[in-house]
Structure 1
Amino acid sequence: MSDHFDNVSVNKKANLYFDGKCVSHAITFSDGTKKTLGVIFPSTLTFNTGAPEIMEINSGKCRIKLAGQSEWQSFEGGQRFDVAGNSSFEIETIETLDYVCHFG
């Protein structure tokens, strides 16, 4: 995947979740596609999804457990994982995670 995005609108107001443990900015492409760019500081959090998501990790390390699964999976910079829509996942960030979340 590319290391930059061209021709996007950026929401300059940050999205703050979990008392600032997750900070992101929403971007919208000319075709209406949306993504968020952000960081998750070392913590253990649970995210709920509406649309399906692809979490692309730019740097950092984490473990995730998808809804309905009992095993944790490890991921780090350069990897990605998929999350079903209308679902959830637990994430334990071991090192600050720099990520892109692709929706839909």
Structure 2
Amino acid sequence: MVHVVHRIEAPSPDDAAAVGRMQLRAWLQTYVTLGPMYLLNEVQGHGIGGQLMGEFFLWADGAPLHLWVTEYNGRAIRFYERHGFQLTGERALWRDRLPNVRMARGPMQHPRIA
């Protein structure tokens, strides 16, 4: 499968270190996956996650979007819902132990497996 990987980092206010980062993947220009996205606890709730999402949306250029999020991470699920993502009902175990749910924004397309 052909895909493009892009990483975005959010610097701290004093530019000393990154306080958040996200990884994006575009699959054959049919859909874009967000994951993972991390923010340090001390900067959550200060708009940095929203700024990262804005960069993600610009980079995705209108493509359908999807992501996996830990099922019991209600704060993350609410964050993604505020940015237009909806739960799809799909569930999977990451590394056979961490329950994840899929969220999507826009039409969902899956890669073809050769």
The TM tier, using the shorter chain, reads 0.3 to 0.5
TM-score (ref. length: structure 1)? 0.40
Relative contact order, higher structure (CA 8 A, sep 6+): 1
TM-score (ref. length: structure 2)? 0.38
